[in-house]
Structure 1
Amino acid sequence: MWIGWLEFDLLLGDVHSLKAKRSIIRPIVAELIRRFSVSAAETGDQDLHRRAGIGLGAVAGERQHVVDILDAAERLVAARPGIELLSVRRGLVRSDDF
């Protein structure tokens, strides 16, 4: 079993409240879950208006399948209008590594 994850650090555009921030982040998280059948959530900078962290986890039997999911998810977030992708941290391990 292969386990992969991404941690996105995002800078949001013209956002002046946490409510406005949620209206941007929730659809991104929902689309990641729907399109890629992954676990995803807002994971960082929850008290800041213009910064956000999103974490994503994927599990599959084949390494390449996990890599393909992570690559596609990263492209989706990077192409999203109104946000700037500051950084992405990626991890990939095999269950036997633990």
Structure 2
Amino acid sequence: MWVGSLELDLLLGDVHSLKEKRSLVRPLLSELRRRFEVAVAEVDHVELHRRAVVGVVAVAGEQGHLVDVLDAVERSVAARPEMELLSARRRLRAGDD
């Protein structure tokens, strides 16, 4: 078993309130859950209206499949025009670590 996590630091576009931020972040979280079957949440910068850190976690039987899923999630977020992906930190662990 392999467990992988991805921490995505995002700069949101033309956002002036926490309400506007939620209108961008919530649909992103829902889409990632639905498309990639991963666990996802906003994990940092919750009080800032132009920044968000999104945490993504996935479990797979093979390392290659896990890397493919995390790569696809990262590409999907990076392609969104309403936000800029500032950084992505990835961690992979084997079940016997």
TM range (shorter): over 0.9
Identity, in percent, stands at 64
| Corresponding residue of 1:48 | 48
Q: How far did 1:84 drift?
A: 0.7
- 2:5 counterpart of 1:2: no
Instruction: Compute the TM-score of the two structures, normalised by the length of structure 1.
Output: 0.97
Alpha-carbon RMSD: 0.5
Residue of structure 1 in register with 2:91 after alignment: 91
Q: Which residue identity lines up with residue 72 of structure 2 in the other structure?
A: A
The one-letter code matched in structure 2 to 1:93 is R
2:32 paired with 1:38: no
Query: Structure 2: which amino acid aligns with 1:7?
Result: E
Partner deviation per Cα, 1:14-46 (whole Å, 9 max, x = no partner): 100000000000111111100011000111100
Q: Which runs of 4+ in 1 moved over 4 A?
A: none
Partner of 2:67: 67
2:78 corresponds in structure 1 to 78
Stretches of structure 2 lacking an aligned partner (at least 5 in a row)? none
2:57 maps to 57
Aligned residue pairs, count:
97
TM score, norm. by length of structure 2: 0.98
